[in-house]
Structure 1
């Protein structure tokens, strides 16, 4: 099992460009991140390469994430913004050697039919997937919880899976976030088993506080053991809010040798 750290939510003690070095110093060999809005992409690329990191995944532009936006693809007024971002994001992925990009579905729009929104989202994801396929890249789609993210369009695994199938592209897969789905539906292991062939990326945090594994109600030794037993060979992304004074202290559950080289569940301090 191999792990990567999401530098958009971890290492918030430092500016984004410094977080890549902090991740490497903490022993990680791979990172993921949300779209680096407001950052110079050349500087982002240099910071990642200077740190000697792989990039497991990053997001397409999802709008003003700190302001509460959660995706552009289902909003008619943001269609061109998303499509303009696609080649920019794919170029960055190629330069970084990243094979996967995550697309967020967006919020329900008052007064707009849900089916119309999903149809627009489908068209936009098809566009992104077709562009990505020509470069050998994948697009992933995730369900997220509505408690913290507002009226998000896809908030259960079945909804996200149905949407992925409706897109009809072989390079469109599921991103499964254990924390979000514990909040929305529970039944984690059975759901992972059911959808494992569709899942290309997994993210973790504990519930209900979104802290590091071992700080909440999710029995992570069992969940991670079952992910391992399923044959899943992708990354497990750490996307949590540390409960500790520093981000580095929150990694106590994940021995340093596992952060860079991977390992089995028996190697974890859980």
Structure 2
């Protein structure tokens, strides 16, 4: 049976961030993920996890100046020091938070450069990061993200991500499979999810409805089929609930009752 993690960057946004841990636990979640932890000391976050009986399963490495539009450094040729310091900071937080997965954001394509031109650089950087993660006992992920939500993002397609992972060839680099992004970009979600699992590179799954990124209980990505597929495959990881609730997080959790009987 799939295990679910509340994404505290998109859920419970009616509350201040640090209060969302308690809200997720009260709704029956036993795990959380979110975009970035760096506004808070790792020790403070660790205490919140312990207090509420939660497991941290995923967060992103520092992406640069988010407000200015930066979305990671992996594909940026002139940002090697920033890339390396981002990885090191993320690994330090991961060690303090129980070694959750760390997503390395690929970054936006530099003006005038193509994905083909940058592939070699990206593979080399991911290989360096995977070696550092291996020494710390941590797994990194890469995630294809659609260009409607993040225009100009380097990594959009599942086959591109699989090619990068296989070129690196490290068990410490896995695929973060977001069903919503996959549906927006290319569709055929079930086949692509199955392929990633069968290749042994599926590290994390995230769900949201499509096309509006709300609860996955209607539209193009009703969740029942995907959850049955994960059970069939024997997927043992977590499913991140990374969607924007239509009308309040707790009120919209009815879709989870089949898998989370502890929901109030």
TM-score (norm 1): 0.89
**CA pair 259-19 structure 1, distance change in 2 beyond 3 A:** farther
Kept in 2: contact 1:61–1:72 (CA 8 A): no
> What is aligned with 2:191?
190
TM-score (norm 2): 0.91
Kept in 1: contact 2:215–2:243 (CA 8 A): yes
**CA pair 42-11 structure 1, distance change in 2 beyond 3 A:** same
Mapped pair 1:238 → 2:241: yes
> What is aligned with 2:171?
170
Please give the per-residue CA displacement for 1:124-174, whole angstroms capped at 9, x wherever unaligned.
222221111012211111111111111111111101111111222221111
Q: How does 1:1-270 map to 2 (within 5 A)?
A: 1-65=2-66, 67-196=68-197, 197-244=200-247, 246-255=248-257, 258=260
- Structure 1, unmatched stretches of 5+, are 262-270
Aligned counterparts of 1:13 and 1:220: Cα–Cα separation in 2: 25
**CA pair 260-153 structure 1, distance change in 2 beyond 3 A:** farther
Aligned counterparts of 2:258 and 2:8: Cα–Cα separation in 1: 17
Aligned counterparts of 1:60 and 1:126: Cα–Cα separation in 2: 16
Q: 38-47 or 141-150: which moved more?
A: 38-47
How many residue pairs get aligned? The number is 260
- Structure 2, unmatched stretches of 5+, are none
Aligned counterparts of 2:180 and 2:244: Cα–Cα separation in 1: 11
Aligned counterparts of 1:82 and 1:38: Cα–Cα separation in 2: 19
SS in 2 for 1:193: helix
Kept in 2: contact 1:26–1:256 (CA 8 A): no
Q: 226-235 or 66-75: which moved more?
A: 66-75
**CA pair 7-123 structure 1, distance change in 2 beyond 3 A:** same
